[in-house]
Amino acid sequence: MKSTSGSHIYASPFQDQLPAPLFYRAETMLADSCYPEHSHRWGEFVYSFCGVMEVKLANNHFIAPPPYGVWLPPGTLHVGQNRDATSYCSVYISAEYLQTLPQNPCILAVNPLMRSILEYLRDQFQGLPLQAEDQRLLLALRDQLARAECAGSYLPDTEDPLLAPVLRQLRDNPGDNRSLAAFASAVNTAERTLIRRCKQELGMTFTEWRQRLRIMAALSLLSEGQTVENIALDLGYSSASAFIVMFRKLMGMTPDEFRKGQGR
């Protein structure tokens, strides 16, 4: 994890202490960017408004597109990076406000109220001196983070000898529409066995994992400016409308709304 990769290297904005016990910062990262390995004495919640934020830990790799964010407790050694341009924010939480927040790094699901607060702060946060209104919003956000569902890893991986080859084939070709039964036959096992391995190793069904993989691929293709129609066909959907339905279900917005958010 110590290696630093990326054409653009960013420095951690706060070294020894936070500007305030609760603080908010919005940032835009260029494509192929990296925050080198570091840790800090406060908690940090990282949320990407558009694009995908990746956070590498010693024993985990978190990938968090909206509507998910990464929670990092104090002392977590990590590397932040992104492959495509990303608009994101960080919420910094000092020790006195950490009660009931997760003690381990994890991905948290962002509900509509949390997203609204994060977007409002992105547009209106005035920095120091901290305004009373901003303080109240940050306290409300802290309470919501404490209640948020821990979603594990957005796109988990496995070294399972039967399941890993199937996932590798899908990563190489997210538009592969073969059924789970066909994949099972290709690795000389039963469909029922792969169903069980998906639940055990990934914590989700094969269909859900494939949908999430396609979301990840779609985000990159949208960032490249490809049309929704071409993306839908590349990812194995029968029509653009079928792709849009899936995208809205998982992302809470349409592909065009996501692209507009990137421009913003």
> What's the CATH number where 202 sits?
1.10.10.60
Q: Residue 241 — φ and ψ, nearest 5°? A: -65, -35
Domain C-terminal end among 95, 129, 152: 152
Using the 8-state DSSP alphabet, how is residue 198 labeled? I
Q: How far is CA 170 from CA 83, 116, 174, 212, 246, in A?
A: 20, 34, 5, 11, 18
Q: pLDDT tens, 133-155?
A: 999 999 999 999 999 998 777 88
Residue pair 176/190 in contact by the 8 Å Cβ criterion: no
Q: Is pLDDT above 80 for 101?
A: yes
For 106, residues 6+ apart whose C-beta sits below 8 A from its C-beta are 70, 71, 150, 151, 152
**Residue 77 and residue 190 in one domain:** no
Q: pLDDT tens, 104-133?
A: 999 999 999 999 999 999 999 989 999 999
Domain C-terminal end among 132, 152, 172: 152
Task: Check the CA dihedral 44-1-86-218 and report its sign.
Answer: negative
Domain C-terminal end among 152, 181, 210: 152
pLDDT average, residue stretch 12-18? 88
What's the confidence (pLDDT) of residue 3? 47
What's the confidence (pLDDT) of residue 6? 65
The better pLDDT of the pair 231, 28 is held by 231
Nearest to 13 by CA among 1, 24, 2: 24
What's the confidence (pLDDT) of residue 40? 93
What's the confidence (pLDDT) of residue 261? 66
**Residue 50 and residue 140 in one domain:** yes
Total number of domains in the chain: 2
pLDDT average, residue stretch 215-239? 91
**Residue 146 and residue 52 in one domain:** yes
Asked which of 56-70, 98-112, 164-178, 232-246 is least confident by mean pLDDT, the reply is 56-70
d(CA 91, CA 22): 7
Q: For residue 1, tell me if it sits in a domain.
A: no
pLDDT average, residue stretch 76-94? 89
What's the confidence (pLDDT) of residue 264? 52
d(CA 261, CA 107): 22
Q: Domain span at residue 205?
A: 163-263
Mean pLDDT across the chain = 90
d(CA 97, CA 136): 13
Grouping H, G, I as helix, E, B as strand and the rest as coil, residue 113 is helix
**Residue 121 and residue 203 in one domain:** no
The domain that contains 18 carries what CATH number?
A: 2.60.120.280
